[in-house]
Amino acid sequence: MFRANTAKKPSPSAPATSSIPLRLPREQEDLFHNVLCVFENEHLPHAVAGAFALQHHTGICRFTKDLDLFLAPPDASRALALLADRGFQCEVRDPVWLAKARRDGYFIDLITGMSNGAITVDASWIDRSHRATIIQTDTRVLAAEELIASKLFVVRRERFDGSDIAHIIYALEGRLVWNRILQLAGEHWELVLWNLLLFRYAYPAQTHYVPESLWDELLTRFSAEIRSPNPRARFRGSLLDDKMFAIDVDEWCLQNLAQEYREQCPKINAVNPPSRLKSSRAGRSVE
């Protein structure tokens, strides 16, 4: 029987990568600059991530309406309080990893880890960040190793950050603390290998950017796993995408590791700003 095509129109394709600087609207720059200054003045441990960190490490420029900041969960709660007190509309979107503060159509994303709970930001992420000038502000930016770790699990149908990881390796010519990346990945080291294979495929002439010792270590590990698979190994699809692998959990009764990881994560505490903030301070500057 004929059925009408009710499928949604495909979303616009992602813009081509480019090093051409993108000038943000003045009000957006001012807002982000002021937020960073507040956090610096309050000595709040944080590091810039997202599009600004990628530009810092690779030169790739992307337009963005939000400012991604990585913080440990307790510091994210404190950041929300600071922003609420300055007239931002704040909410905890997901206590496991994401809170948002909004004003004038722009967002500050406060990120404390991965949505699946597999990786959580701690003080070492901020300690390893380094000083940088972002949006005309002397602040801190995530080190390349932590930036890579933050992208390991971004492998969803609608968004894939593998090319970002490849670009970081290429731009830095492999000058990375590889042991730190493996430490952050932990039991998920196969995702590191997966991304290294993607890098090798895209940049075969730059294979040497990845140390031979690292190739040997990871391929040896992988070979051992293939030769002697663990029959009790648990299903991990939910850690990659809870929607694409929903049937495995909901209908095929496989494990939901993402749910287990998330239950064990430290949480962001919600902040309820005084009602006066929404009215009397909504139009004021951040500082």
Closest CA to 129 of 201, 189, 88, 180: 180
| Side-chain half-sphere exposure of 37, counting CA atoms within 13 A | 13
Q: Could you tell me if residue 265 is inside a domain?
A: no
**Predicted local confidence at residue 271, as pLDDT:** 66
Burial profile 172-205: b = 16 or more Cβ within 10 angstroms, e = fewer:
eebebebebbbebbeebbebbbbbbebbbeeeee
> The domain containing residue 100 runs over which residues?
17-142
pLDDT of residue 287: 39
Domain membership flag for residue 55: yes
Q: Nearest 5°: phi and psi at 269?
A: -85, 135
- Domain count for the chain: 1
pLDDT tens string, the chain, 287 residues long: the values are 334 444 444 455 667 888 887 788 999 999 999 999 999 999 999 999 999 999 999 999 988 889 999 999 999 999 999 999 999 999 999 999 999 999 999 999 999 999 999 999 999 999 999 999 999 899 999 999 999 999 999 999 889 999 999 999 999 999 999 999 999 999 999 999 999 999 999 999 999 999 999 999 999 999 999 999 999 999 999 999 999 999 999 999 999 999 999 999 999 987 665 433 333 333 333 33
Q: Which long-range contacts (CB under 8 A, 24 or more apart) does 98-101 make?
A: 98/268, 99/268
**pLDDT value, residue 17:** 82
Q: Please report where in the chains the tokens 């890098």 appear, as a residue.
A: 199
**pLDDT number for residue 24:** 86
Q: In the prediction, which pLDDT does 285 show?
A: 37
Residue 99 lies in a domain: yes
In a domain, 126, yes or no: yes
pLDDT of 14: 65
What is the pLDDT at residue 272?
A: 62
Write the CATH number for 81: 3.30.460.40
**Cβ atoms 49, 150 nearer than 8 A:** yes
Q: Give a yes or no: residue 94 inside a domain.
A: yes
Query: Does residue 238 lie within any of the structural domains?
Result: no
Residue 4: inside a domain? no
Residue 189 within a domain: no
